[in-house]
Amino acid sequence: MEHKILGLHHITAIAGNAQRNYDFYTKTLGLRMVKKTVNFDDPQTYHFYFGDKTGTPGSILTFFPWERVKKGKNGVGMATEIGYSVPEGSLDFWKKRFEKNGVEFGKTREQFGEKYLPFRDPDGLNLKLVVPKHEDDREAWETDEIKSNVALKGFHSVTLTLYNVGPTAGILTDIFGYELEEKEDDFYRYKTNTVENAAIVDIHEDPTAERGINAGGTNHHIAFRVKDEETQMYLREKIIEKGLQITEKIDRDYFFSLYFREPGGVLFEIATDNPGFTRDEDLEELGSSLKLPAQYEGSRDRIEKLLPELKH
């Protein structure tokens, strides 16, 4: 597994109201707030991280909640749907819970031999709960209302919508080590064998679709996981050899990042496991207080006054 992509690390999306976003993901879906910090480029905006108990790579969905953001539109050149893994027999629980909480959801469907329940968050972000073919042994975060027999385990997959599957597939297979596992209608399933879970990228090829608009209720980027910085820099060279532009290594406090736009237009990130979310908070205290990047710590009082109040 040396110098390999280890599936998905995190996915970052754009939301509107911060309180509504927090309530939906922690209370309705039952995820843990792993980290409450700010956008590195816009410290007047929160950056929320939701995941499992420890913020395990492959479980982390993050948001930039901009209060006055315009509504975006899913389309070509974007990640258009996020799949979460849930236990066998849990979909009825989630239908009832979504009905009770006024969540928009669709009928149970099947794709690639797996049942799934599509739904949307309050900003319109497309998600689905998937019962995977193989048993997902990851330990889920539990709440008083959502126990392990129904709880979200972490990512199952992410779907990209593209005009042409070929160029993006080349990145996934030639550099990231994914393989084409299956094709169903206009959907192509790519999977890595380096990890058991959060290992799938589905590509929906649609030559007639309109391009997406990246704003509220859409995904900003997808981060792929690597063990460490050595692997990260090895892959950076491979991407440069492919003729693509990629950033220098950026310290994001909880991981190191590289960013590049793959040929289909989706913003990809390569993120490390190290140093992790307990670098500035104990495990039991994760997400309980506002953590600021070092360059903003001197402006804490001003930033705290500008950020919307968040009730836990």
Instruction: Residue 218: give its domain's CATH number.
Output: 3.10.180.10
Domain tally, the chain: 1
What confidence score (pLDDT) does residue 2 get? 77
Enclosing domain of residue 20: 8-306
The length of the chain is: 312
User: Are 273 and 57 contacting, i.e. CB atoms less than 8 angstroms apart?
Assistant: yes
For the chain, give the percent of residues with pLDDT over 90. Answer: 98
**What band does 5 get if pLDDT is binned at 50, 70 and 90?**
very high
> Considering the domain boundaries, does residue 252 fall inside one?
yes
Q: Read off the amino acid at residue 130.
A: V
What residues does 111 pair with on adjacent strands?
A: 114
Residues 180-230: tens digit of each pLDDT: 999 999 999 999 999 999 999 999 999 999 999 999 999 999 999 999 999
241 Cβ partners below 8 Å, 6+ apart? none
Q: Is 225 inside a domain boundary?
A: yes
Average pLDDT over residues 41-59: 97
CA angle 149, 49, 278 (to 5 degrees): 90
How much is the pLDDT for 109? 98
Close Cβ partners of 56 (under 8 Å, ≥ 6 residues apart): 138, 154
What letter does residue 140 receive in the DSSP assignment?
Answer: P
Residues 296-312 pLDDT 10s: 999 999 999 999 999 98
Residue 80's H or E segment, with its range, is strand 78-85
In a domain, 165, yes or no: yes
Q: Is the pLDDT of residue 88 over 80?
A: yes
Q: pLDDT for 266-289, tens place per residue?
A: 999 999 999 999 999 999 999 999
127 assigned to some structural domain: yes
Asked, for residue 1, whether it belongs to a domain, the answer is no
Q: Is residue 2 part of a domain?
A: no
Whether residue 265 lies inside any domain: the answer is yes
The answer to whether residue 233 sits within a structural domain is yes
